[in-house]
Amino acid sequence: MKLILLFLTVLLYFPLTLKAQSVYTQMPDDPEALYFTSENYDIASDGKHDVSDALQKAINKLKKEKNFGILFIPEGKYLISKTIYVPKAIRLIGYGKNRPEFILGKNTPAYQDENNYMFWFTDNLVEEGRQPRDAGAGTFYSAISNINFRIEKGNPKAIALRTHFAQHSFVSHCNFYTGDGYAGIYDLGNEIEDLKFYGGEYGISTARTSPGWPMMMIDLYFEGQRSAAIISRNTGMTIVSMHVKDAPVAVELQQGVSDRLFMEDCLFEKVKKGVVIGVENETNNQINLLNIACNNVDIAVYFSPSETSIVGKGNKYLINNFVYGLVMDDMSDDSEYKTVIDMEVLDLVPEKLDKLIPDLPPMDTWVNVKDFGAVGDGKTDDTQAIKEAIAKHKNVYLPSGWYRVTEPLKLNKGNALIGLHPFATQLVLAESEANFSGFGSPVPVLESSERGDDIINGIGIKTGGYNNRAVGLKWMASEHSMINDVKFVGGHGTMAKPGQPSHDRRRDQNISSPSEPVYSQGMDLAWDNQYWSLWVTNNGGGTLKDIWTANTYASAGLYISNTATPGKIYAMSLEHHVRQEARFNNVANWDFYAFQFEEEGREGKNAQTLNFANCNDLMFANFWMYRTIRVNTPRPWGVKVSNSQHIDFRNMRSWTQVLHLPERTIFDMDKNLIVYPGDFARVTISGKEKQNRNENPNSIAEKLGFGYEFATGAVSDSKGNVYFCENQQKRVYRWSAETNTISIYADYPYKPFSLAVDTEDNLIVICRYNPQPGFVDDNQPKTIETLPDNNPYYSGWGNGGWASLAYAINPDHVDDMQPLQLVKTNQVKNVERVIHPTHRWRENFKEVATGMAETSFVAPDGVTIIPNTFDLGRSVQLMAVSPKQIEAVYVTHEDPKITYRFQVDDKGMLTNRSEFVKRGEYSNVVDSRGNLYLAEGEILVFNNDGNEIKRISLDERVHSMTWGGKNKDELFVTTSTAFYRIKL
């Protein structure tokens, strides 16, 4: 990527004033909204009379009557004395020549000893007797905009806003005068824009967003904080254009907490430490800094664990490029931890930063579409009214309403179509609308001009289920155009108006029988019927911000084709499509910030995240790929690339609570090049990498079998026979060391997780048991969410209610399945073998890895136990240890990808934990020389000192491994689809 120096732009001619400029200078005319005025409520906007009760009443009235919508706050000063709760999908928007301001008066009770909020965004309606439920991953469309906040003296624990909400929620155009209060915002969500923070212990104090997505932050100013402008605890911040002045620290990443930070085009002024990094050399800790201008900043980057610093270059300098974390210089390179530093001395540092996000047109130029006869009831055809408004006026305002259209809407050059709530204001198609139906080429509901400075703001687009030719929005506008706060409606995020039936009700679960079967709900037959929701083409570009494209009825959420016009995407969420989330073809000069994908279990289990071909000069900053806990099928790749160059990925997060990561995080299909790490700080696709196809075949690896579905659990018996399993297919396989053949060993009706053997070669199968409907058993086993070491991050979200059980197969009687009994662990005497998982995914890793479960399964030999730990239920590989064995063993902590070395005590417990290497995923084995073979996509081999000595790459991600063969000197490996033997 070409780096552009901040000071080359003429920044001083467009200064950001510190005055609170009002964005909405007039009262919007919206009959569906509520207005917090003295005419409607018994209030005075003089900053002296407490409006808390009246304001809460107005918010609750809007939620009850509309479910979603806007409360407009007129210019004035409003005194509050307690927390105001703002429920899901409610927006507070200020208007007037000057922004309205909410004030927390001096020494207000309840703001002195514990953190407390002026405004708290919640998921529920809060009334007397109902406790607030914090905004979460399902809290959509909430916002507060064009309002200022002031905390007066004597409120040291006061925080203006708590905003832990999700998609299409934001804070924008606000000033925070925090004074001696604690912070302006606590716990960020989704996106913030055009905010200024003065004073406070912190401007922002935040942890991870509620859905775990990256956080987008644009056009920010901080001044005078006592500890740091921002303190983050695993937030994943994407920051563009931020000015920090007169603060000890600009951004502090809390010590001991991994985080992902991307910053670009920022200014630090009179700051002691620019960025404080809290964790060193972990794959989940990813730092990228681009074009950071520093004026009187002594320390550019400070590492708190080692207390080391990267000192700046004099009083004025520029951080051109700083990268810290796991890095691949190109797709043919090995991944390594690196610190990349590129700084230069400056003669001139800008005094202020340009505002990046374009302003909406002045309100005195808006015309209301209802003045042209539009109704917005979702039934009346409003097409001609909207067309007339667009034809006669440049800037058209759509107040709350669902506007039915029956033919495409085409913008003229420079048109702005403005709404203020993308679910309350929608353009909708009826089902089987003639102009959008049948067989034919794409037909857009809304189409931009070609190369005009068009604007679409705060509008939802609903294409229905059966409108096969529909495209939500076709965009061909200029580099200076903008799409902001646009929702493509259909599927997730859909809300009902009061009195309308909700489609989210769950049916009662009945007991299935042949005479009265209960069928599993399948796919909606209308899914994946339409063209793309958002199509950028024909040299379209511009700023695309805060867009949620999760319409399952569309074939993809985003398609960009045939454009070299610069474009920037800020905070786009692409989710829940059946085959493809996004596709690019022949695209250049685009940057993608906080670009997030999610695949769901029912609709998206086979969906590909991103496919791009014939592209160049693209940058992805904080790129998130997530597969929900309900997805239990493997996927061959995440990002698929063809004939592309100069592609820059900075901060990648590929994750799932379950085990089915994309087999290849990035895959170049032309050159057969693979990026395996799911978490890295930077990977570059140069386009100059040599082809890997059949040039250096791996002569030591032999594929013995293929066609499996997520093969795991590799283990061998004393004769060198190797066993492995398929969870979804409920099969266990055996490879014979004698005959070199693979056969099905068992196919009982229980899903196997992982395997072990006891001292008499009985095969132990750990499997999933779903309690049988209609059968009551006094000895019913504990389900995973009731085990003492339950991990709610895995057992939640509908993933509980089942148990991990075990059975054994006698090698001499393979059809005699023997369930294993659970007993008190301390009652088993003369234990010779203890079975532990080789990997765990949990916050209390140390406690559980070094503990011993209260109960254990006892193998048929009577001396082998399998402690009944929660992590059996998501294990890929198990390992056997002997009490008092001399050899060390290894377990990987999955999420930070750290592998620890343990000793084994006289009870078979793991003790003396020490960090071995900051790599790893699911499985490991140790050879006779003490070398560790560690699976992390590839097989990384380390000597006893933790130094990497070689790598072994296959065509797929490695899941489990074991030594087998007659002499136990061959390495057997399972991948998702194949079973390999590696002779070393």
SS3 for 827?
Answer: helix
3-state secondary structure of 55: helix
Label residues 849-882 b or e (16+ Cβ within 10 Å = b): bbebbebbbbbbeebbbbbbbbbbbbbbbbbbbe
Same fold flag, 377-496+534-685 and 701-983 = no
pLDDT for 774 equals 84
Residue pair 591/621 in contact (Cβ under 8 Å)? The answer is: yes
pLDDT at 506: 42
Q: Domain 34-213 classified CATH 2.60.120.1090?
A: no
pLDDT of residue 698: 53
Q: What is the CATH number of domain 701-983?
A: 2.120.10.30
Give the three-state DSSP class for 905: coil
pLDDT at 515: 63
**DSSP-based three-state secondary structure for 787:** coil
Helix (H) / strand (E) element for 818: namely strand 813-819
pLDDT single digits (tens) 790-840: 998 888 877 889 999 999 999 999 999 999 999 999 999 999 999 999 999
Residue matched to tokens 């990094």: 277
State the average pLDDT for the chain.
94
Return the pLDDT at 520.
Answer: 67
How would you label 404-430 residue by residue, b for 16+ Cβ within 10 Å and e otherwise?
bbeebbebeebbbbbbbbbbbbbbbbb
What pLDDT, in 10s, does the model give residues 627-640?
888 888 888 899 99
CATH 3.30.70.20 fits 377-496+534-685, yes or no: no
pLDDT, block means (10 residues), the chain with 984 residues: 38 40 96 97 96 98 97 98 98 98 98 97 94 95 98 98 96 98 97 98 97 96 98 98 98 96 98 97 96 98 97 96 97 95 96 94 98 98 98 98 98 98 98 96 98 98 96 98 97 87 52 66 86 98 97 96 98 95 98 95 89 98 91 88 97 90 93 95 96 63 94 97 96 97 96 97 96 82 90 84 96 94 95 98 94 97 97 96 96 95 97 97 96 97 96 94 96 96 93
Looking at residue 11, what DSSP letter applies? G
- Backbone φ and ψ for 659, nearest 5 degrees, come out as -110, -5
Nearest in space to 917 (alpha carbons), one of 259, 338, 281, 325: 281
Nearest to 491 by CA among 430, 539, 553: 553
Three-class secondary structure of residue 63 per DSSP? helix
SS3 410: strand
pLDDT, tens only, 303-349? 999 999 999 999 999 999 999 999 999 999 999 999 999 999 999 99
Q: Are the C-beta atoms of 95 and 27 separated by less than 8 Å?
A: yes
- Give the count of alpha carbons within 13 A of 652, CB side only: 23
pLDDT on residue 12: 32
Tokens of 327: 């890095």
- pLDDT 10s digits, 762-783: 999 999 999 888 888 777 788 9
Domains of the chain, by residue range, sit at 34-213, 377-496+534-685, 701-983
Predicted local confidence at residue 505, as pLDDT: 43
